[in-house]
Structure 1
Amino acid sequence: MENITIQKTTLSDIEQLQKIGRETFAETFSSSNTKENMKKYLEEGFSFEKLTDELNNKNSEFYFALSENEVIGYLKINFGQSQTELQDSTALEIERIYVLKEFHGKKVGQVLYEKAIEIAKQKNADYVWLGVWEENPRAISFYKKNGFVEFDKHIFKLGDDEQTDIMMKLKLG
């Protein structure tokens, strides 16, 4: 694999973030969801308003994975009150790691994941946690391979469909 560089995403990158966000989400979940639910989620979840709010939030950070100056994946992490569930000040949440399908199996996800762990350690987090769709075995085995254990479940709504996310965590230190 050619060199992958990681770059913090800023407001000036919002169009690229919207594009990679929609593209990777659609690639990952389109086959398992209705067109209506996908369309609604892609419009609302990756709207300029929502991404602007998220990029302006000091407790959330986005990072791009770049290959030859092309964005091929991204990471979103949350701290403190911005965490979607636990809101534990001693934790860091990995909300999203998405990589374009054509780059799957090329260690891009691992590089983004390692960036998240590095930041968690800088912030002296006790543990890192995340939610992963129960029907995404690829992701579940990726996190298990990296030492995560399941600790809970929660419901994620995609349009009118309720889906179960498995919550997993990794203790640091």
Structure 2
Amino acid sequence: MMKPDIQFDLLKPELYNKYIEIGTKAYNQHYTHLWPNGDTSTYIENSFTRKILLDEEKDHNTALYLIKIDSVYVGLLKITLHKQVQEYSKFDALYLDKIYILNEFSGKGIGTKSLRFVEKIANEHSKKVIFLESMQKGLALPFYQSNSFIIVANTQVPFKNVIEEEKPMYLLRRIL
């Protein structure tokens, strides 16, 4: 069987609606359980609106990508190129803010290929380490650990209205 052709398209204004659609759908597929009555609007309003994208686009420290297989958009990435985390300066650390893949495309190697893409960007910027956060429960954590990320701290979802027992997250690090 042929491996799918996975591409990473840097977000352009004409793709904002697609980014919002994919981000909202993927987030709702994976994370409604975090929110009372499954109401994810707080997160969506802070992540997937035109205003948020316009602000992020102006920030030269933020890189937004749509993940595409052939001609179909299947996920997205948000990267903070320079971020001080723990003992690492912003010159040494890259932060992977978001990696969302639609449920129907999970398990096809897209996540692994996405991490390789992020690593390539980190190397292009001479980074020493990649950081990301993961829910303590769920499938993401073992996936990141199988890709050489290690838990370095406890964190939590930053929104007050998330269900209390669902808030715990880990900060993970992968040294390059």
Q: Given the superposition, is the C-alpha separation of residues 126 and 166 from structure 1 closer, same or farther in structure 2, using an over 3 Å criterion?
A: same
Does the residue aligned with 2:16 lie in a helix, a strand or coil? helix
Higher mean C-alpha deviation, range 121-130 or range 32-41 = 32-41
What is residue 63 of structure 2 aligned with on the other side? Answer: 61
Q: Which runs of 5+ in 1 are unaligned?
A: none
Tell me which residue corresponds to 1:166. 170
**How many percent of aligned residue pairs carry the same amino acid?**
21
Match of residue 72, structure 1, among 71, 74, 82 = 74
Q: CA deviation at 1:109?
A: 1.1
Partner of 1:47: 49
Q: Which moved more, 1:68-77 or 1:37-46?
A: 37-46
Q: Please, which runs of 5 or more residues in structure 2 have no aligned partner?
A: none
For 2:128 and 2:77, the matched residues in 1 are separated by 20
Equivalent residues in 2 for 1:109-148, closer than 5 Å: 109-136=111-138, 138-148=139-149
Deviation at 1:36, TM superposition (A): 6.2
Q: Could you list the per-position Cα deviations for residues 67-123 of structure 1 after superposition, in whole angstroms to 9, with x for gaps in the alignment? A: 231110111110225x7x656321000111111000010011111111100000111
CA–CA separation in structure 2 for the residues paired with 1:120 and 1:154? 23
Q: How far off is 1:40 after superposition? A: 2.6
Alignment RMSD: 1.9
Change (3 A) 1:27 1:159: farther
Give the TM-score, by structure 1 length.
0.89
> How far apart, in 2, do the equivalents of 1:14 and 1:69 lie?
16
Number of equivalences: 169
Corresponding residue for 1:104?
Answer: 106
Letter in 1 for 2:175: K
